[in-house]
Amino acid sequence: MSQEQQFVSVPVPIQHVTQVYAFLAELAGITTGPSAETTATPLDDGEWPFVEWGVQDLRKLTQDALDSVQVVTGVLDILAKQPGERVSYTSLVELLNVDRKRLRGVLSAFTRVVHKHYGRRNWPMTWVEAPSEGTDLKSEFYYTVSETTAARWREVRTQS
CATH number for the domain harbouring residue 52: 1.10.10
Is the model's pLDDT at 135 over the cut of 80? no
Domain of residue 139 covers 43-159
Binning pLDDT at 50, 70 and 90, where does residue 123 land? Answer: very high
Residue 142 lies in a domain: yes
Residue 28 lies in a domain: no
Residue 50 lies in a domain: yes
Residue 14 lies in a domain: no
Classify burial at 11, counting beta carbons within 10 Å of its beta carbon; exposed 0-12, middle 13-18, buried 19 or more: exposed
What single-letter DSSP state applies at residue 37?
A: P
Strands 87-88 and 139-144: antiparallel
pLDDT value at position 51? 86
> What tens digit of pLDDT does each residue of 41-62 get?
565 556 778 888 999 999 999 9
Distance between CA atoms of 158 and 62, rounded to whole angstroms?
Answer: 12
Distance between CA atoms of 143 and 84, rounded to whole angstroms?
Answer: 9
Asked which of 3-12, 70-79, 122-131, 134-143 is least confident by mean pLDDT, the reply is: 3-12
As for how many domains the chain has, the answer is: 1
Residue 90 lies in a domain: yes
Residue 105 lies in a domain: yes
Q: If residue 71 lies in a helix (H) or strand (E), which one and from where to where?
A: helix 67-80
* Degrees, nearest 5: CA angle 38-25-130: 95
